[in-house]
Structure 1
Amino acid sequence: MTHAASAPQLGDTWNDSQPVLKVRNLHKTYHDQQVLKGVEFDIHQGQVKAVLGPSGSGKSTMLRLMALLEPADDGEITLRGRRIGVRERGGATIALPERELAKERANIGMVFQKFNLFPHLSACRNVMLGLTSVKNVPHKEAEAQAMAMLERVGLSHRAGHYPSELSGGQQQRVAIARALVMNPTVLLFDEPTSALDPELVGEVLDVMEGLANDGMTMIVVTHEVRFARRVADEVTLFDSGIIVEQAAPDEFFDNPQHERTRKFLSHVH
Structure 2
Amino acid sequence: MSNETPATVPTLQVSNLHKAYNGNEVLKGVEFAVNKGQVKAVLGPSGSGKSTMLRLMALLEPADAGEILLDGKRIGASDANGRIAHHSERKLAVQRRDIGMVFQKFNLFPHLTALDNVALGLTDVQGVGKVEARERAFEILDKVGLAERDGHFPSELSGGQQQRVAIARALVLNPHVMLFDEPTSALDPELVGEVLEVMENLAAAGMTMIVVTHEVRFARRAADEVTLFDGGVIVEQAEPAEFFENPQHERTKQFLSHVH
TM-score range, shorter chain: over 0.9
Q: Aligned in 2, Cα 1:10/1:95: closer, same or farther, shift over 3 Å?
A: farther
- 1:29 is aligned to 20
Q: Deviation string for 1:144-167 (max 9, x for gaps)? A: 111110000010111111111100
- 1:50 is aligned to 41
Letter in 1 for 2:132: E
- 2:152 is aligned to 161
Contact in 2 for aligned 1:22/1:43 (Cα 8 Å)? yes
Gaps of 5+ in 1: 1-8
Give the alignment of 1:111-122 within 5 angstroms: 111-122=102-113
Cα root mean square deviation, aligned: 1.3
Residue 240 (structure 1) aligned to one of 231, 237, 260: 231
Contact in 2 for aligned 1:49/1:235 (Cα 8 Å)? yes
- 1:222 is aligned to 213
Q: Deviation string for 1:2-58 (max 9, x for gaps)? A: xxxxxxx4457x401221111100000011111100000011000000000001111
**SS in structure 1 at match of 2:18:** strand
Gaps of 5+ in 2: none
Contact in 1 for aligned 2:65/2:84 (Cα 8 Å)? no
Q: Return the alpha-carbon distance in structure 1 between the equivalents of residues 123 and 25 of structure 2.
A: 38
Q: Return the alpha-carbon distance in structure 2 between the equivalents of residues 86 and 100 of structure 1.
A: 10
Letter in 1 for 2:107: N
TM-score, normalised to structure 1, is: 0.94
Letter in 2 for 1:210: N
TM-score, normalised to structure 2, is: 0.97
- 1:66 is aligned to 57
The count of aligned residue pairs is 260
- 2:74 is aligned to 83
Contact in 2 for aligned 1:26/1:38 (Cα 8 Å)? yes
Q: Return the alpha-carbon distance in structure 1 between the equivalents of residues 159 and 172 of structure 2.
A: 20
Contact in 2 for aligned 1:26/1:36 (Cα 8 Å)? yes
**SS in structure 2 at match of 1:209:** helix
Percent identity at matched positions? 70
Q: Structure 1 stretches (4+) deviating beyond 6 angstroms?
A: none
Q: Does 1:130 align with 2:121?
A: yes
**SS in structure 2 at match of 1:251:** helix
Contact in 2 for aligned 1:10/1:82 (Cα 8 Å)? no
Contact in 2 for aligned 1:47/1:218 (Cα 8 Å)? yes
